[in-house]
Structure 1
């Protein structure tokens, strides 16, 4: 008995409390279940472990790069500043979670249970009214970790299996039911490609598509013309430089954070020991900005490795259940359908400007928590929501979409940080959907299990409410199962759709 106890203790200590080892074991088991063979399953498990550690290395680098800036801001202006960025925020939140006794390895178990629940939602779609199955690899991994951390902080009474099950149930409901909102938007944008968005902007993607349709209808009624599009403008050719995600990342970080660092002055960073009097302050700013895209390259490499192996564990199961259910994938895969690559660029640039203005307003009003948005959200939240608003609403829909993103990623993210207490870490992983969800309902979580269950029920009813408000019930299912038949019933959808492949490949691969 003592030997068995020692073996169990060793397994728990060396596997279940270690995130990379737990992912290796779960990936190996999953691929064996899917009959990948012992050799492939072992190789997949090892790639999963290596990829996770590559990803972790990049997040640590990003944290150590931007921590001096946060310290300097607090020291120079007495501000409680938080950077809202998926990768930087995940790193800061994970560190805080583990320092307070949390076990990040439990995220792997959350992921498996949540994926099983999402399959169940799809399998029983006639009851749940769910028309999507999220399959976005690294997005699901990030979601599992994020929801495990946030629910443990908002409801500290939960621990062990109680925490794991609640976090998995919440994640599954959030991904499947909120993702259901963007089904029509995804099908219309891609002219029935048979895929939908399963990403951090699903809610606003669907909402802005509906608002865009209203803009289109009203504009046609008033003027007899479609809303103005980018093709109606003469944009300078130099904007194409922003089509490369890594170049755009450096330029934005250099200008935005560089300006802040110049305002604080070199002496602030010297006093804090981050640079020396004889060193070039301009080069210090340059190197700091360059670290972010370098970290992104490393992160995406690691994410690609371990998320691909995790999804290989799920593929065989999910493929059998996708009849009439759309696979949910990375939003960047939709960028090629926006009609003009400048849609992505303009959404990114205008949204970034609005985010900066929003942060400045927060500072001028001296709000308790000031949120600065990191590049990842600047790019993907703005580009994605702007694109779906633009689809039907043209430039007006794009501008309104990125305005809503700016409000969500700053003001609601601040509420999110205060509700969870994570503002003390200096980093939040709160893209638009997370900011909206936790910045509003997050306060209910403090009621404990009853509050969380109430939120899960509210979110879980979203597809049912959509179904109830669909006049023709056949349309509700037709939009996902037979787009051509659905479009034949709705001649108003017959507007030109261009599948542009001019975007740089890095934009399609590099995403949250």
Structure 2
């Protein structure tokens, strides 16, 4: 048993937590299953891995700037994070050490669900979020049952996380298809709650028209038309915010963030803004390179192992679709959060800490999905939703995880709150059952997931639902386009709801038979 745990822990730590390795193995398996020549297998695998590495380098560059920005902004407004009786590191060193095993067992259950149910068509491949969501679920269970047995924690946590990985890409799939114009890949990210609220909320409020108010078509006066360039606008906006924050922050905090830099604070701030913009440019390039390889490579897995499936990928894959909306969502999210930070401080409710990384990715997610439904107005609304969720999530969540990992509240994406609080609430409700409570929760989650998948499987009768998975070459189709029809074919009559193709070579014969039947002469 101990050997099995060591093996599963090794798989989780060295594969699932290492995104380039995970994606490389998926691409390699897909290309081998398609029996591609050696040069295509080697080239495609390495290009997919390099694309992920480039993407992650871009993330590291601008995330480093966001971390420094967060510390300086907190100092500028005179706030410090609240104290706690436990820390994330303490939790991971104790009962949280089961997290790698939860990931490994959970992924096996997830793949099994995808294999059994045709409607569960997305394989969750966002490795680092597998780790974080497993922490959230483990902490939620431990908060209620502090003495929960390790084996129970692993199995129950694995069942719950597997159901989340299976369902999350499905509930965002309609909006994802509207945004991208195809369903060659899905979204596997813990900002899906924001995306749902941004998309459907924008539609319910009738904020605007996706085409007429598209953020990418905004018309600006010629004198400020340079803001249409995402690199220029990012650098300028972040520079202004950084310089203002540096002006009001404690000089000791600024020096700490500057490290050994010999630059003056204002020069260092400008440099960080430029690095931030460069990081986003690198990220977008990596996304395009990565998608151009992983989508066609995954077809081998879709055809041979998990029929009809698609990969569910990280949130940056949608950013190239509307980069201006990403920036609008980020700025809206940040402004709303900073305003609420002041309100909370003035009211004495809670000391909020600006989570710049979550404000960027969550705001960007809300921005692009809001823009897909209501244009730039929807992008603003999506950012607003993210800022509100993160502010109130910190306030409520810090106390909920006080004895395990309260940092979960300040490092969170909105799905962390939604899923973690549901698990925590359900377990507390059943606490009188003792250790059996977590088994009841896991069983209920699994039954509900299976029921949803069975209902969805019965509805899968349209061509979009039953079509083969991603295209076999090149990057995904652009928005609003579909896979081209086979050469020399045209749409013909349908059989059982699915369109068939009719060769143009048969048209003369069809015409002759029709004329013969009607008595028509040529």
TM-score range, shorter chain: 0.5 to 0.7
User: What's the CA shift for 1:72?
Assistant: 9.7
* Residues 81 and 372, structure 1, Cα contact 8 Å, conserved in 2: no
User: What's the CA shift for 1:419?
Assistant: 2.1
Report the counterpart of residue 140 of structure 2 in structure 1. Answer: 154
Q: How does 1:242-257 map to 2 (within 5 A)?
A: 244=230, 254-256=239-241
Report the counterpart of residue 117 of structure 2 in structure 1. Answer: 125
> For each residue in 1:179-214, what CA deviation from the matched residue of structure 2 results, as whole angstroms up to 9, or x when unmatched?
211222222333444433222232343444334444
1:434 paired with 2:416, answer: yes
State the alpha-carbon separation in 1 of the partners of residues 279 and 235 from structure 2: 11
Structure 2 length normalisation: TM-score? 0.62
State the alpha-carbon separation in 2 of the partners of residues 324 and 32 from structure 1: 18
Indicate which of 102, 106, 113 corresponds to 2:105.
113
1:79 paired with 2:80, answer: yes
Q: How does 1:83-482 map to 2 (within 5 A)?
A: 95-100=89-94, 102-103=96-97, 107=100, 109-125=101-117, 130-135=119-124, 137=125, 139=126, 141-156=127-142, 157-158=147-148, 160-215=150-205, 229-230=213-214, 234-236=219-221, 238=224, 241=227, 244=230, 254-256=239-241, 258-266=243-251, 280-283=264-267, 285-286=269-270, 317-320=301-304, 323-335=307-319, 337=321, 342-374=324-356, 376-421=357-402, 425=407, 428-439=410-421, 441-444=423-426, 447=431, 450=437, 454=441, 457=444, 461=448, 464=451, 477-478=461-462, 480-481=464-465
**Secondary structure of 2:122's match?**
strand
Question: Structure 1 pair 274/182, CA: closer, same or farther in 2 (3 Å)?
Answer: closer
Question: Structure 1 pair 172/310, CA: closer, same or farther in 2 (3 Å)?
Answer: farther
* Residues 185 and 388, structure 1, Cα contact 8 Å, conserved in 2: yes
User: What's the CA shift for 1:363?
Assistant: 2.6
Q: How many residues align?
A: 445
Say which is worse superposed, 447-456 or 306-315, in terms of deviation: 306-315
State the alpha-carbon separation in 1 of the partners of residues 8 and 104 from structure 2: 20
Question: Structure 1 pair 207/475, CA: closer, same or farther in 2 (3 Å)?
Answer: farther
State the alpha-carbon separation in 2 of the partners of residues 312 and 241 from structure 1: 35
State the alpha-carbon separation in 1 of the partners of residues 453 and 93 from structure 2: 42
State the alpha-carbon separation in 2 of the partners of residues 294 and 33 from structure 1: 33
User: What's the CA shift for 1:372?
Assistant: 0.8
**Secondary structure of 1:134's match?**
strand
State the alpha-carbon separation in 2 of the partners of residues 426 and 116 from structure 1: 25
Structure 1 length normalisation: TM-score? 0.63
* Residues 249 and 293, structure 1, Cα contact 8 Å, conserved in 2: yes
* Residues 213 and 393, structure 1, Cα contact 8 Å, conserved in 2: yes
**Secondary structure of 1:430's match?**
coil
User: What's the CA shift for 1:417?
Assistant: 3.5
* Residues 131 and 324, structure 1, Cα contact 8 Å, conserved in 2: no
> For each residue in 1:455-475, what CA deviation from the matched residue of structure 2 results, as whole angstroms up to 9, or x when unmatched?
77458737856997x9xx976
State the alpha-carbon separation in 1 of the partners of residues 293 and 321 from structure 2: 28
Report the counterpart of residue 19 of structure 1 in structure 2. Answer: 13
State the alpha-carbon separation in 2 of the partners of residues 124 and 435 from structure 1: 29
* Residues 324 and 480, structure 1, Cα contact 8 Å, conserved in 2: no
State the alpha-carbon separation in 2 of the partners of residues 179 and 191 from structure 1: 16
**Secondary structure of 1:371's match?**
coil
Report the counterpart of residue 509 of structure 1 in structure 2. Answer: none
Which runs of 5 or more residues in structure 2 are unaligned?
36-40, 468-478, 482-522
User: What's the CA shift for 1:370?
Assistant: 0.8
Say which is worse superposed, 360-369 or 320-329, in terms of deviation: 320-329
Report the counterpart of residue 513 of structure 2 in structure 1. Answer: none
User: What's the CA shift for 1:173?
Assistant: 1.1
Question: Structure 1 pair 175/419, CA: closer, same or farther in 2 (3 Å)?
Answer: same
> For each residue in 1:15-38, what CA deviation from the matched residue of structure 2 results, as whole angstroms up to 9, or x when unmatched?
8499349978x969999988799x
* Residues 210 and 372, structure 2, Cα contact 8 Å, conserved in 1: no
State the alpha-carbon separation in 2 of the partners of residues 410 and 32 from structure 1: 42
Question: Structure 1 pair 467/22, CA: closer, same or farther in 2 (3 Å)?
Answer: closer
> For each residue in 1:197-255, what CA deviation from the matched residue of structure 2 results, as whole angstroms up to 9, or x when unmatched?
22223234344433444455x98xxxxx989624786335647657547x766655544
* Residues 133 and 161, structure 2, Cα contact 8 Å, conserved in 1: yes
Which runs of 5 or more residues in structure 1 are unaligned?
83-91, 220-224, 484-496, 500-512
Question: Structure 1 pair 324/388, CA: closer, same or farther in 2 (3 Å)?
Answer: same
User: Which of 1 and 2 has greater Rg?
Assistant: 2
State the alpha-carbon separation in 2 of the partners of residues 30 and 482 from structure 1: 22
* Residues 415 and 439, structure 1, Cα contact 8 Å, conserved in 2: no
State the alpha-carbon separation in 2 of the partners of residues 323 and 357 from structure 1: 49
Question: Structure 1 pair 475/21, CA: closer, same or farther in 2 (3 Å)?
Answer: closer
Report the counterpart of residue 503 of structure 1 in structure 2. Answer: none
State the alpha-carbon separation in 1 of the partners of residues 372 and 61 from structure 2: 38
* Residues 17 and 128, structure 2, Cα contact 8 Å, conserved in 1: no
State the alpha-carbon separation in 1 of the partners of residues 7 and 184 from structure 2: 44
